Amino acid sequence: MEKTLDGIKVLDLSRVLAGPWATQLLGDYGADVIKVERPEQGDDTRQWGPPWLGHESAYFLSTNRNKRSVTINLAVRGGQSVVRELASQADILVENFKVGTLARYGLDPADLMAANPRLIVCSISAFGLTGSRAGEPGYDAMIQASGGLMSITGPEGDDGAGPQKVGVAIADIMAGMYAATAILAALRVREKTGVGQLIDVPLYDSQVAWLANQSMNYLVSGQVPERLGTAHPNLVPYQAFRTSDGSVMLAVGNDRQFRACMTCIGCSDLGEDPRYASNSARVENRASLVALIEERLVCERTSHWLELFAKEGVPAGPINDLAEVLTNQHARERGIVRTLDNAAGDAVPIVSNPVAFSQTPVSYEKAPPLLGEHTDEVLQEWLGYSAELISELRKDSAI
């Protein structure tokens, strides 16, 4: 069956997470993704364990399905020549080297695009290709910190815990998502013009861009957003509350839901109380309302409240751990977890792409590759190299 990106060739020179996340999405949509890795070492994340599945780290497995691995030594001329030839055949090149590194290897994106005018190059970096910070390196945690996310993440007030980072490398992941959507947009433009373009995706700028309402709250009010724990700056009640046996997350988004929520907890009069009847009033009187709700919810079990809230259409949910999330009935019904067999004979569990197309299904054809698993295959298929030439390149440590 046809895939969304059938026939699109992607040369993936990225490693760790932001770039690989973008290229994994393109692979899911049917593109032929060639992951270029360092001989013997590979992507940094191949060593980021435990845990391990066979000899592969769980971290690497999480972001490299639907790709073929080719090992090329960019530090030698022969390897650089191979990359230039691969780029001449590619539709898309994704890289996240420190700015200027590819040029030092004789692989300046401008030169690659001059040789292949249809090539779309997506460069992911810490602070972008221009500006005084362009040459600085960056990892997710420092971007979460310097890009503002940590200042609004963590327990409310000064309880000693201080700012917290998100439990996954969300700055990297969101940069990868921005990169993937930008690449798809550039493909659409190329259909009209026949010409590729350079895409600049900085981790820092991406982080700032998706602060969404928090950024706008500051720009409109001039007040610096603070940490609120699980609470929401613009909606009340919208936070976790303790129950007699755990916690429940309430997510009340409008006045009707609020009135229904108050009925569920036996406080229907509060639904019409002028202190709480509108969301703006609830935000203004957050402390007193939260205290009232806390008093009620702590008296019954989580399951009791979830059943009542569900009947009345009040958005609420349990705080599940990952064991529950990945094994519950919804996960089974939706096929959230799948397995793919790799070349080592291991059944690799993967978390499915959440997108479902009615006509061009997501691809689940290739397990994350073993290091250099497809080197000969790709060089023969993309470039027509003979076995003898490949052998010479290997002798010269180019591949």
Q: Which residue has the tokens 């259409």?
A: 313
Which residue out of 32, 43, 91, 172 is catalytically annotated? 172
Q: Which residue has the tokens 């993937």?
A: 180
> How many Å apart are CA 173 and CA 206, to the nearest integer?
10
Q: Is 140 a catalytic residue?
A: no
Sign of CA dihedral 58, 165, 15, 181: positive
CA distances from 246 to 104, 210, 304 (A): 56, 31, 12
Q: Which of 45, 375, 26, 365 is nearest to 180 (CA)?
A: 26
Q: Which of 353, 346, 323, 345 is nearest to 65 (CA)?
A: 353
Q: Which of 90, 81, 97 is nearest to 183 (CA)?
A: 90
| Contact between 169 and 17 (Cβ < 8 Å) | yes
349 phi and psi angles, rounded to 5 deg: -75, 140
Q: Cis omega (within 30 of 0) on the bond before 51?
A: yes
Q: Residue 55's Cα: distance from chain center in Å?
A: 24
For residue 288, give both structure tokens. Answer: 């007193």
Q: Which residues are catalytic?
A: 172
